[in-house]
Amino acid sequence: MLVTAHRPALLVASALATLALCVLAPNSALAKPAGGFGLGIVLGEPTGLTAKGFFAQEHALQAHLGFAFGKNSRIHVVVDYLYHFHNVIPPLGTAGFLAPYLGVGGLVSLRTNAPKKDEKDVSLGVLIPLGLSFVIRTIPIEIFLEVAPGIGILPGTFAIIDGGLGARYYF
């Protein structure tokens, strides 16, 4: 999604809140979700399917395949590397635990409607996802909130803000 006048303030506020959680919260020992591989849905930009696989305690790959709604409808494919700060926020009793995360990733966006004369069908970009995940202790479900500012690099340079609210079930 292209940045509009009201979205940069939301981006800055979200980034600062996530950074504050990472820096100011006390340490504790937490684990990744049971199973290490999750599938689910994400609502936002894009809206669609999401998958995440942990390959180490704090390290994961995430992918979203979804649809960006609006006058410039697009299919988005996003792949991100994520680093989770598991030791930052203490467990929430028997409910579960919160884990802020930060990453870097890429976006391929395919236009679904006929482009105008000066617009391209495919866009590529680089994203910096910032998020907070809540893993429920008693069932293998993760709920997450994420914002992913970035920069489009093809067909030209442009600002990107992706993000959403989602949930994944871990196997």
Name all domains of the chain by residue range, CATH numbers in brackets: 7-25+35-119+131-170 (2.40.160)
Report in angstroms the alpha-carbon separations of 17 from 22, 28, 109, 158: 9, 20, 28, 25
Q: Lowest-confidence range among 20-24, 61-65, 92-96, 163-167?
A: 20-24
What pLDDT does residue 21 have?
Answer: 41
- pLDDT level of residue 5 (50, 70, 90 thresholds): very low
Give me the mean pLDDT over the 11-30 stretch.
43
What pLDDT, on a 0 to 100 scale, did the predictor assign at position 49? 98
pTM over 0.75: yes
- State mean pLDDT over 4-23: 46
Of the two residues 23 and 46, the one the predictor is more confident about is: 46
Q: What value does the mean pLDDT take over residues 132-139?
A: 94
Rg from Cα positions in the chain: 17
pLDDT at 73: 85
Band (11; pLDDT cuts 50, 70, 90): very low
pLDDT of residue 116: 66
